[in-house]
Amino acid sequence: MGLQNIVRFLLPGEEHFYDYLEHQAGFARKGAAAMVSFFDNGTAAAEAVAAVQDCEHAGDEVVHAMEEALAKTFVTPIDREDLQKLSSELDTILDLANDAIRACVMLGVDRPTEPMSKLIHILVRCTEKLDDAMPKLRKHQYGDLVEVARELRKIEREADVVYRDAVSKLFKDPSIDAKVIIREKTVLEDLENAIDQCDSIADILAHLAIKNG
């Protein structure tokens, strides 16, 4: 047992770090759900932007609270570097989701295409799994975290297929205007990046499970 683990064993850990991560996962889930209102229900993209940004700002506040707590705390429930990295990666999901919905407004995507809709629903599935999984870290349910990581990787592969197929069709159709190609590819890429970010968090969760299990 390493020195830091011995110290953790002798002194109580700071449980509120788990609270921060769980809040962040919850905001990522809400941010993705807010995008569905535009992609499925005909809500104006500008309204969806405001809803996603509200989640992003709330998430930023949690990140700042996490950073301040890490700076003041000697004993953390898991390595402080892991806490900071996981917090940062969760925050990036909302940043990328915000990029996607802002691109819709900036580039004039009034009605999402079918591939866009498929990707946002995949992002929702990913964020739901992350939100459901994060309390398992507090409970040391590391076997469950490994399984969640596997499921997220599988979902991310689904997104890859949707993205590649959609982009391929854009460039192979000679009747599509170049502006449309740029517009749709930009939004698709932002959505794909947000889903890839969930896959990156899957790697972190698997790493933490192996490291701490």
C-alpha to C-alpha distance for 189 and 107, rounded to whole angstroms: 14
Backbone φ and ψ for 184, nearest 5 degrees, come out as -70, -40
Q: Which residue has the higher pLDDT, 76 or 163?
A: 163
Question: Does the global pTM surpass 0.95?
Answer: no
pLDDT for 6-44, tens place per residue?
Answer: 334 433 457 889 999 999 999 999 999 988 877 676 677
Mean confidence (pLDDT) of the chain: 89
3-class secondary-structure state, position 183: helix
**How many residues belong to the chain?**
213
Whether the per-residue pLDDT at 181 is higher than 80: the answer is yes
C-alpha to C-alpha distance for 15 and 25, rounded to whole angstroms: 16
50 alpha-carbon distance from chain centroid? 18
